[in-house]
Amino acid sequence: MARESESGLPIEPVYGPADLDGWDPGRKLGEPGAYPFTRGVYPTMYTGRPWTVRQYAGFGTAAESNARYRRLIAHGTTGLSVAFDLPTQIGHDSDAPLAHGEVGKVGVAVDSLEDMRVLFDGIPLDRVSTSMTINAPAALLLLLYELVAEEQGVTADRITGTIQNDVLKEYIARGTYIFPPRPSLRLTADIFRYCTARTPRWNTISISGYHMAEAGASPAQEIAFTLADGIAYVRTALAAGLDVDDFAPRLSFFFVARTTLLEEVAKFRAARRIWARVMREQFGARDPRSWMLRFHTQTAGVQLTAQQPEVNLVRVAVQALAAVLGGTQSLHTNSFDEAIALPTEKSARLALRTQQVLAHETDVPATVDPFAGSYAVERMTDGLEEAALDLMRRVEEAGGAVAAIERGLQKAEIERNAYRIARETESGDRVVVGVNRFRLDEEEPYVPLRVDPAIESRQCERLARLRADRDRRAVAAALDALRTAAEGEDNVLYPMREALRARATVGEVCGALREVWGSHVPSDTF
């Protein structure tokens, strides 16, 4: 009897030519680095150089995170990826009542230019590529990064990296939104315009399916809803007067890699093919770089277990292999203890070593697209493409991604799939090693990394000193200019940059925008 994939598609015991009737491999696959990029976005892929090894890190204070970044770079990390704490992600300062108990817990606390300066102290921003997982206040963190680079003598046109800046998926799956969807899209368009003019080497958005997958989305849903969000961002930029080939080459994506290796490889191939056609045929992009779906991958945190955590090392290795076989451009490997607490320095180093073994001890990088022509993977790629396109049509029929989000369509679909996975796990039909089978009578003790609760009081003291030392009139005037821009049609990033330069805090800048745009209140109806 055939098994089903995570997306509900049949997995046959044997595949052969009969499963690909009417399939012309030359027409459909093409060559690596050529439209429709099924086989990868670059002709040589990893035979020329490996993917970017990017480790997601950040906790406690900026000084503590800076020390971790320096150690990661010393151990061979080629790109930084910054995790911010929850108050920063939702635009509140560390001394705000809503921030209590969350400061520095799931990432680093960044309240002001002073924190950003400490975070990247001694790290040359003209030589390091930095990804920042920040969405609703993405513009602020980009501007803080630019200001710190300026202090280092690095001009804006030389900094490289990515802001996630994908607020639509926050309404679908993650929840760290601030403003309603439509002003959030206005802010995204302002970021596109700003970066086109000032930071041409910066990736303006990382359109994310990862968090949808963590919420329970199937691979087909992950592709469909991520690319539907991508379409919404392209339409927003076009409506703002940008030419598609001016901004599309800087769009990037962010996907999960699960342990279901074959389907994950097929997912990446199908996503590239769909996006290439959307950009060329629907939006008329002429630059081949605008057709490329370039993406970062993170191994699946949701599949890590607190039980027998060392088994997660095996899971992460399989997931990382799926990402590499699928043609990722950069990769973060989770640490084996992340289901318990923040990673220790040793576990973070082991996660990094996993990538280095794949890059230097296996033969996977020696050839481009090793699975090309595999009956199983090509059939799965076709099946995922069909399933994703069907879901994308449903989103379009609902009025597009934003209208569908306002109706709760994507959220409801993902929740249904998450419920199915939970039922299968509870019944034992879905085996999770160490959880519902192959358990231990007694778990071995494990000492996790804990964040010092005193961090919150120290961060609040830093904020108090900053507010006492700065020019209050300059801050007030800069925030007034920001409100005026938000009320009109001017690009808000320019007055926002000057407010941050005057040492306004993240919470104050986001508060000024809340006064004009309001805050998002989710709907649970569909």
In sequence order, what E strands does 317-377 have? 330-332
DSSP secondary structure of 282-296: IS---SHHHH---EE
Tokens in use for 124?
């040359």
How many angstroms separate the Cα of 166 from the Cα of each of 162, 171, 252? 11, 10, 10
Predicted confidence at residue 55, as pLDDT, reads: 79
Question: Which pLDDT score is estimated for 418?
Answer: 97
The two beta strands, 10-11 and 3-4, are antiparallel
Cα 463 to chain centroid distance, Å, stands at: 29
CA distance 62 to 68: 10
Query: Where do we find the tokens 């007034």?
Result: 480
**pLDDT higher than threshold 90 for residue 521:** no
Name beta bridge partners: 11. 3
CA contacts within 13 A on the Cβ side of 480: 6
pLDDT at 526 over 50: no
Backbone dihedral region for residue 33 (phi beyond 0: left; psi -120 to 50: alpha; all else: beta): left
Could you count the other beta carbons within 10 Å of the beta carbon of residue 194? 23
Residue range 199-205: mean pLDDT, rounded: 94
Flag whether pLDDT at 513 surpasses 70.
Answer: yes
Given a cut of 50, is residue 335 above it in pLDDT? yes
Say if CB 495 and CB 468 are below 8 A apart.
no
263 vs 105, which has greater pLDDT? 263
Ordered domains of the chain (ranges, CATH) = 51-362+370-426 (3.20.20.240)
Q: What is the structure's pLDDT at 448?
A: 75
Round the CA-based radius of gyration of the chain to a whole number and report it.
23
DSSP state of 20: G
Note the pLDDT of residue 148: 98
Per-residue confidence (pLDDT) for residue 21, from 0 to 100: 67
Query: Are the beta carbons of 183 and 488 closer than 8 angstroms?
Result: no
Look-up of token digits 């576990």: 347
% pLDDT > 90, the chain: 84
Backbone phi and psi for residue 362, each to the nearest 5 degrees, phi listed first: -105, 170
The distance from CA 32 to its chain's CA centroid, rounded to whole angstroms, is 25
Q: Among 72-76, 89-93, 112-116, which stretch is predicted with the lowest mean pLDDT?
A: 72-76
- What mean pLDDT comes out for the span 422-442? 95
CA pair distance 429, 432, nearest whole angstrom: 9
Neighbours of 10 (CB within 10 A): 12
Which residue in the block uniquely carries the two structure tokens 């934003």? Answer: 402
Check residues 303 and 12 and name the one with the higher pLDDT.
Answer: 303
Pairwise pLDDT comparison (360 vs 12), residue with the higher score:
360
The SS3 call for residue 131 is strand
Weakest mean pLDDT among 360-374, 399-413, 442-456, 502-516: 442-456
Give the C-alpha separation, 31 to 48, whole Å. 16
Give me the pLDDT at residue 2, please. Answer: 65
Of the ranges 19-23, 207-211, 290-294, 458-462, which one carries the lowest mean pLDDT score? Answer: 19-23
Least reliable range by pLDDT among 66-80, 171-185, 507-521 = 66-80
| Surface-to-core class of residue 465, CB atoms within 10 Å of its CB (0-12 exposed, 13-18 middle, 19+ buried) | exposed
CB-based burial of residue 178 (10 Å sphere; 0-12 exposed, 13-18 middle, 19+ buried)?
buried
In tens, the pLDDT along 349-400 reads 999 999 999 999 999 999 999 999 899 999 999 999 999 999 999 999 999 9
Task: Name the pLDDT band for 510 (thresholds 50, 70, 90).
Answer: very high
pLDDT the model gives residue 28:
66
Q: What is the pLDDT of residue 22?
A: 67
The pLDDT of 430-435, averaged and rounded, is 96
Packed helices 181-198 and 219-239: angle between N→C axes, nearest 10 degrees: 70
Handedness of CA 326, 327, 332, 335 (dihedral sign): positive
pLDDT at 452: 83
Residue 340 sits at φ, ψ, to 5 deg, of: -105, -45
The residue written with tokens 């769909």 in the block is 274
Exposure pattern of 59-79 as b/e (b: 16+ CB <10 Å)?
bbbbebbbebbeebbeeebbb
> What pLDDT is recorded for position 451?
77
Find all residues with CB under 8 Å of 137, minimum gap 6, and list them. 88, 89, 90, 91, 178, 506, 509, 510
DSSP designation for 281: I
pLDDT higher than 50, residue 33: yes
Predicted pLDDT at 99: 95
Residues whose CB is less than 8 angstroms from the CB of residue 471 and which lie 6 or more positions away in sequence, other chains included = 502, 503
What values do phi and psi take at 108, rounded to 5? -85, 145
pLDDT above 80 (res 29):
no
pLDDT in tens, 147-197: 999 999 999 999 999 999 999 999 998 899 999 999 999 999 999 999 999
457-476 pLDDT, tens digit each: 999 999 999 999 999 999 99
Q: In the chain, count of helices (H) and strands (E)? A: 21, 11
Q: Indicate if the pLDDT at residue 44 is higher than 50.
A: yes
525 pLDDT above the threshold of 50? no
For residues 133 and 162, the answer to whether their CB atoms sit within 8 Å is no
Tokens of 413: 């679909």
Q: What is the pLDDT averaged over residues 395-410?
A: 95
Predicted structure pTM score: 0.90
pLDDT for res 157:
96
Q: What pLDDT, on a 0 to 100 scale, did the predictor assign at position 239?
A: 93
For residues 296 and 162, the answer to whether their CB atoms sit within 8 Å is yes
In this predicted structure, the answer to whether residue 497 has a pLDDT above a threshold of 50 is: yes
CA–CA separation, 250 and 237 (whole Å): 12
pLDDT value, residue 155? 97
Measure the N-to-C terminal CA separation of the chain; round to a whole number of Å.
36
Q: Which of 113-122, 433-442, 446-455 has the lowest mean pLDDT?
A: 446-455
Model pLDDT for residues 300-329, shown as the tens digit of each residue: 999 999 999 999 999 999 999 999 999 999
pLDDT at 204 over 80: yes
